[in-house]
Amino acid sequence: MKVIAAYLLAILGGNTSPSAEDIKGILGSVGAEADDDRIEFLLSEVKGKDITELIASGREKLASVPSGGGGVAVAAAVAPVSGGAAAPAASEVKEEKKEEKEESDDDMGFSLFD
């Protein structure tokens, strides 16, 4: 990931075709070690390609990746099966979570007025 970030920083800096030495220089400036194999792999994959097109195609691929929300899907699946009983149970769980948060705020171990 750091190799990709260094490559993108080089492009943002105006270098339209960063070399391995450019990437190593960027990584070295922040004290990060450069992995030659990863740098060469990245450069071989992006050689001759427009970075804006690569980013756009990556966004399209990421749009189809599910992220989080597993609990909501389970609650939605349970609600129709059990009818109206699932709604009160869900509200009870929310109330319990609120109480836990309030308690954890009170147990900070010190007072501002001591």
Domain edges within the chain: 2-61, 70-102
6: Cβ–Cβ under 8 A, 6 or more apart, which residues? 18, 23, 26, 27
Q: What is d(CA 7, CA 23) in angstroms, rounded to the nearest whole number?
A: 6
| CATH number for the domain formed by residue range(s) 2-61 | 1.10.10.1410
For the segment 12-66, what is each residue's pLDDT rounded down to a tens digit?
Answer: 999 989 999 999 999 999 999 988 999 999 999 999 998 999 889 888 888 888 8
Distances (CA, A) of 103 to 5, 72, 92, 108, 114: 42, 26, 17, 9, 20
Q: What is the pTM of this model?
A: 0.54
Q: Which residue has the tokens 């490559």?
A: 7
